[in-house]
Amino acid sequence: MSAEIPDWTRGAEGLALARCRACGHVQYVRRPFCPECGSEDLGVERASGRGTVYAVTAVARAPSPDLQAFAPYGLALVDAPEGFRFMAHCPPEGVAIGAPVRTTFRAFGAGLVPFVTPEDQP
């Protein structure tokens, strides 16, 4: 299964989810089995990248010296319409709880991270 799942940290291919073919459970966290029923029969799908902000915060003090150059930066928990919640970076201001957002990818440190912005922004 892992070879089929786009890796959002190495190429911005898009958000991916796994859906259990046995019970229909959706998971965003990569596992080789369904945590709901234990089945290993998982199908991989591309997620829409859209969602609704569940929680948001601004990080003023980065966790390491190499990331301090990015501070302040925002972090959001986003509920995807496909049925999973994911964490993404966001602007430190202008993203509110309950707001509809869309996902792109941005450089952060040595990699790429999901980055959400309000759907009504260009």
Res. 3: pLDDT tops 50 = no
> 10 Å Cβ neighbour count for 62?
15
Convert the pLDDT of each residue in 34-63 to its tens digit.
999 999 999 988 899 999 999 999 999 988
| Order of strands across the sheet that contains 16-20 | 26-27, 16-20, 42-46
On whether the CB atoms of residues 17 and 45 are closer than 8 A, the answer is yes
DSSP secondary structure code for residue 13 in this structure: -
pLDDT of amino acid 14: 80
Is the model's pLDDT at 10 over the cut of 60? no
Q: What is the DSSP letter of 102?
A: E
